[in-house]
Amino acid sequence: MAGGSSSLPFRSLGDCRFHSAPGALARLVYGSPLPLPLVVRGDDVPADVLAKEREIYTTQANDSGKPPEIVEKMVEGRIAKFLKEICLQDQAFVKNPDQSIAQLLKAEDATVKEFIRFEVGEGIEKKQDNFVEEVMSQARGD
């Protein structure tokens, strides 16, 4: 959702100090990475999603005319980039881009078990009005 607000509540084990000392999860929640992740770790990505991405990247790489061994390296590199973008633990921590979320959690002895991604307005059906028909209806006295 472009320009929208998002929230990422976490269920965790370990450091849960949200109000007093700034623990790892507090820093993580208040500095959530963008783009928002889809899974906690790479192992959580469904096999069919990974297969589809691999198929797309392979087709694109084959179209480049490169030798098969280069195509394979290109595909693996793009898969690694894809996983880094969608996996929470692989993303860079916003407040310290040199540190991954996994490194932050490990340093604080904390573990994110799952998260739920919320988008402002998600799931709300917006009523679609036809302004012209509404005005014409009022003009006719309907």
Angstrom distances, CA of residue 62 to CA of 48, 52, 65, 74: 21, 15, 6, 10
138 falls within a domain? no
34 falls within a domain? yes
Distance CA 27, CA 68 (A): 44
Beta carbons within 8 Å of 31's beta carbon, 6+ residues apart: 93, 94, 95
30 falls within a domain? yes
47 falls within a domain? yes
Task: Kindly report the CATH number assigned to the domain that includes residue 23.
Answer: 1.10.286.20
Distance CA 98, CA 123 (A): 36
Structure tokens at 115: 């998260």
Domain span including residue 31:
6-122
131 falls within a domain? no
Burial 18-53 (b: 16+ CB within 10 A, else e): eeeeebbbbbbbeebbeebbebbebeebeeeeeeeb
Note the residue count of the chain.
142
107 falls within a domain? yes
54 falls within a domain? yes
Percent of the chain with pLDDT over 90: 26
Distance CA 95, CA 32 (A): 9
Cβ atoms of 69 and 62 closer than 8 Å:
no
Tens-digit pLDDT profile for residues 82-109: 998 888 888 888 778 898 888 988 887 7
* Structural domains in the chain (count): 1
* Residue 44 DSSP class: G
- Write down the pLDDT at residue 141: 78
28 falls within a domain? yes
- State the pTM of this model: 0.61
